[in-house]
Structure 1
């Protein structure tokens, strides 16, 4: 008799447990699967950038390139000092996975030359924004900060860029009579093909800036900047020269050609 009373009790308990696991609330309230329609509708994460690492900037230019950009380096008589000059000096950075750079400074009998190479790998922390899109936005801000002059009608009709290593019979720009060092003053004095401008056929987008400083009674320093973006990496080259003699103006065409040639080499190395 006890056995017959026990079995129905167990069956009732099991039925209650099963009802609690599979049944919903009687008043139509939420269950464990409260939003079944949302399953599989999350937006996919944006594509990561092409580059996950950065090259070693101090090894980026070859010795022959440094000989061309920094003529005084071959005039260093001490072998150890010359070797140290070729090595350059790494710029301070707190995350070598995201930003690295190297700089060189070499004095010669005629001038002091400076070179800076900077690599920045852009990473977006917004799942809806790709690394490339984030890099494109940062590059646009960088170009806007350069205050490039408006392209002329001729530049708008064609590319507006000077091929690296190309020749031009136009003379370099000279300081304005007032001695102004503003970018607009320097740009307006420069021949059209040497003006600061957007460059074609270099990375995904690129520009060149050329500024001649006014240092009062001291020698004028010219700084040529070439910046370009390839996917999520932004590369910046700053090449500056200050002659030893007052009144001597660094040649714009020559410096632009050298900087663009280096930029092309760096772009090719990133593509490998």
Structure 2
């Protein structure tokens, strides 16, 4: 009799335990009742580009002939080697590739280097594009162009004289023009005509065709600056020879970002004679033209 009296109590306790576990398991299974109001976090979208172009085939031969004067006059085997280029050593061609060309002509040596870097974010909260923008911003800062830019300042540097004078006067007052944010090399360039004023005639591609000082010095190119209408963001870094260097070398770099790819173009000239000076404006124009072609190729 005593044993039978305890049976209902044990049965009731077992039923309560089973029922409680079932209710708890249901809440944990769907997660809706355990943490009400918790937002659902979606991973950041991937970048537009999953692969990179073959760098040594990214520049058309006709463009290389223009960028590397003297290559066409080389013997056939040397000419083919020069146009073929040298691929950069890389261990992951899906992430980083590059190619370089160099031609030693009688009057000057021209060299060209292009580099493609596809940036991937391993943080689900940060998109590939945002991570690539961080890479680009670091390079811009290294070029001395990290300070804020007055809207339209770059356009003012390559448009009519009236707009130039307006932006020039504004820059002296607030110190925010592109010229004032340029790298140290830009100060030397701008002092010799980098900040063009009235009286210049503009070339069809938007680059001033005349020298602001009237000296006709080919090295008086526009200074380092941000560029418009090239990828999502772009800048040009002008690097004429150092003051203590006897070699008249001149290098121009154009860096731009499009989605999750950062592209760098470096174009340089080394004259054969120290009395000759490279045409900085020409180097800038050709480097920018090539950068725009590469941006178009990426968009294909």
TM-score by length of 1: 0.77
Q: How does 1:37-76 map to 2 (within 5 A)?
A: 37=33, 38=35, 41-76=39-74
Offset at residue 75 of structure 1 (A): 2.1
Matched, 1:199 2:202: no
Are the structure 2 counterparts of residues 50 and 184 from structure 1 closer, same or farther at C-alpha, using a change threshold of 3 Å? same
Instruction: Tell me the distance in 1 between the aligned counterparts of 2:53 and 2:135.
Output: 20
Q: Aligned to 2:137, which of 134, 137, 140? A: 140
Are the structure 2 counterparts of residues 21 and 242 from structure 1 closer, same or farther at C-alpha, using a change threshold of 3 Å? farther
Offset at residue 215 of structure 1 (A): 7.1
Instruction: Tell me the distance in 2 between the aligned counterparts of 1:217 and 1:99.
Output: 33
Q: Is the 8 A contact 1:160 1:199 kept in 2?
A: no
Offset at residue 17 of structure 1 (A): 8.5
Q: Is the 8 A contact 2:186 2:224 kept in 1?
A: no
Q: Aligned to 1:218, which of 224, 238, 246? A: 246
Offset at residue 20 of structure 1 (A): 5.8
Matched, 1:188 2:195: no
Q: How does 1:120-269 map to 2 (within 5 A)?
A: 120-148=117-145, 156=153, 158-160=155-157, 182-189=184-191, 190-192=193-195, 194-214=222-242, 216=244, 218-269=246-297
Offset at residue 19 of structure 1 (A): 6.7
Aligned residue in 1 for 2:82: 85
* SS of 1:144 mapped into structure 2: helix
* SS of 1:24 mapped into structure 2: helix
Are the structure 2 counterparts of residues 104 and 217 from structure 1 closer, same or farther at C-alpha, using a change threshold of 3 Å? same
Instruction: Tell me the distance in 1 between the aligned counterparts of 2:32 and 2:42.
Output: 19
CA shift digits 1:175-231 (9 cap, x unpaired): xxxxxx952443333422611111101111111111111375632110000111111
Matched, 1:118 2:121: no
Are the structure 2 counterparts of residues 128 and 160 from structure 1 closer, same or farther at C-alpha, using a change threshold of 3 Å? farther
How many correspondences in the alignment? 239
Aligned residue in 2 for 1:99: 96
Q: Is the 8 A contact 2:248 2:276 kept in 1?
A: yes
Please identify, of 151-160 and 139-148, the stretch whose mean Cα deviation from structure 2 is larger: 151-160
Offset at residue 151 of structure 1 (A): 9.1
* SS of 1:124 mapped into structure 2: coil
Offset at residue 156 of structure 1 (A): 2.3
TM-score by length of 2: 0.70
Are the structure 2 counterparts of residues 252 and 230 from structure 1 closer, same or farther at C-alpha, using a change threshold of 3 Å? same
